[in-house]
Structure 1
Amino acid sequence: MSTYAALTRASYKATVRDATTLFFTFAFPLVFLVIFGLIFRGREVADTGHGYVDFIAPGVLSWGLASAALFGVAFTLMQWRADDLLRIIRLSPASILSVVGSRYVVALGIGVAQSLLFVGVAMLPVFGMRPDPTWPLALPVMLLAVTSFLALGLIVGSRANTPEAVAGIANFIVVPMAFLSGSFYPLELMPDWLQAISRALPLRYVNDGMAYALSGQGDMNDYLLACGALVGYSVVFAVIGVRTFRWSNDS
């Protein structure tokens, strides 16, 4: 078995063994879907042919994907470094790319499962989500969302030394970003200066891409801009993450 395969297998086992974390990874987005779905149940947005849930669900899904990717890799790296596993891995032929890549595969698997479960629940009659025919375009956005926020989690996990630090930093990043990017609150209702700030946040582009793919909001140019921006964020975060990566708390 190759080093990369062994690390991927170890990452997968560590993920599925932590049943509580795994459960809430899937449950949190669904809780918000249920709350918003029941509040706006049966209501339609004028002149769109869509219900409110069609406009709410993409943003909540985007937040769920971003949170899972960021928290997952940040906690894993922090724990592996605290347990000196990274120090041991460093003595093997494994590289940083092998360590991060193994976690990336697991994160993608979780992202796909999250998306399928979330959309499946949203389409139940009680919520009534009706995805647009453009829904396959959500797959590239999901991939780019996981990539960019995993790279951001690489930075967080490389700097934080305790679970409390990871949770604090990650929540400080994701929670305000969710509100400022329109995951829970329509950007159109925000002041112009807040809308301008949202354009500097990666989650804004995950929301835009998902909104176009699942409910037809915006146009293809908005979708392509969102994908391009996420590619750029992924590269920038990955470069910073690799440069700040630490094999041990002492380094």
Structure 2
Amino acid sequence: MKTFAIHLLFDFKAGLRDKTLLIMNYIFPLGFYLMIGGIMPKLNPQYKDILIPSMVMFTILVSTILGMPNTLVTFRNNGILRSYKINGISKFSVLATQVISTIFHAAIVTIIILISAPVLFNVRHLEDIGALILIFIVMSIACSGLAILIGIISDNTSVTVIYAQVLFLPSMLIGGLMFPSDALPKSIKVFARLLPSTYAMDAFKVLAVHEKGLFDPIYSIGILVLTGILSYILSLYLFRLDNNNSSKSKSRFLALIALIPVILGTLFI
């Protein structure tokens, strides 16, 4: 446990010292939050109602999907993962410290947004902080799991960028962050249901704002948690110390199992 705590503290500090991680964990999310907070409410006054949750979800997406995979790939390609194994650090510890430290950073940014949004942009204080905390946790589980899985199956950082953008860009455009998912055309709503952010934003709408959503929040939370758990399990199973793996094609195919919950959500709810 002491070794795990030391490793976790090291990863947390790395998120502050490493320029790339600092950008992904703090500068990019907070800079985008300030820009969107200054522009969107003027274009659409109703956006104030979703400013806080949308920017919290954005923070999670950036910190996990855009930030975590490259770190794992760099560690593997530079021999750091093999060095960890030689020194007795398990693959579970390697993945767990990455997940926990990243979620810690996202939580700090979330607190900054919660405190500053009412002051800077005249946004109402959230009445149900508990609902936001719940959605933050389940969204973090889903996105960190997918981010770890992307890092596991990618051979280099160029590939992680492609995989990450396939998830990140649609989440921004049709995942409920910029405008409500129920305002989307029917044809696009189908694709939006493949995105974790869609379920997170809809669950927040029902639980915190007490408005009618597209889905039962129990289903939304279940889909996010199952997506994360499947991703964690697959990441442990497909974990590689280097790229000399004869089953790389099989590994990438198996990673698609993590998408089963959102696919079932698209088909049946």
Alignment TM-score, normalising by the size of structure 2: 0.80
CA distance in 2, matches of 1:202, 1:9: 29
Q: Kindly indicate whether residue 108 of structure 2 is the aligned counterpart of residue 152 of structure 1.
A: no
SS of residue in 1 equivalent to 2:237: helix
Q: How does 1:78-227 map to 2 (within 5 A)?
A: 78-124=73-119, 126-212=120-206, 215-218=209-212, 222-227=216-221
1:137-170 alpha-carbon deviations (Å, 9 max, x no partner): 2112112222211111111111223333322321
Q: Structure 1 residues 241 and 172, CA, compared in 2 at 3 Å: closer, same or farther?
A: same
1:218-242 alpha-carbon deviations (Å, 9 max, x no partner): 37x7433322221111122122222
Please name the residue that 2:262 is paired with: none
CA distance in 2, matches of 1:81, 1:40: 41
Higher helix content, 1 or 2: 2
- 8 Å Cα contact 1:202-1:230 kept in structure 2: yes
Identity across matched positions, percent:
20
User: Displacement of 1:62 after TM fit?
Assistant: 0.7
- Unaligned 5+ runs, structure 1: 46-50
User: Displacement of 1:85 after TM fit?
Assistant: 1.0
User: Displacement of 1:111 after TM fit?
Assistant: 1.8
Alignment TM-score, normalising by the size of structure 1: 0.85
Please name the residue that 1:248 is paired with: 242
Please name the residue that 2:233 is paired with: 239
CA distance in 1, matches of 2:206, 2:19: 33
Q: Kindly indicate whether residue 223 of structure 2 is the aligned counterpart of residue 229 of structure 1.
A: yes
- 8 Å Cα contact 1:54-1:214 kept in structure 2: no
How many residues matched?
244
Please name the residue that 1:48 is paired with: none
CA distance in 1, matches of 2:165, 2:74: 18
User: Displacement of 1:40 after TM fit?
Assistant: 4.6
Give RMSD over aligned pairs.
Answer: 2.5
- Unaligned 5+ runs, structure 2: 246-269
Please name the residue that 1:39 is paired with: 39
AA matched with 2:27: A
1:183-241 alpha-carbon deviations (Å, 9 max, x no partner): 1132222111211222232121122233445544437x743332222111112212222
Please name the residue that 2:251 is paired with: none
Q: Structure 1 residues 121 and 228, CA, compared in 2 at 3 Å: closer, same or farther?
A: same
SS of residue in 1 equivalent to 2:111: helix
User: Displacement of 1:6 after TM fit?
Assistant: 3.2
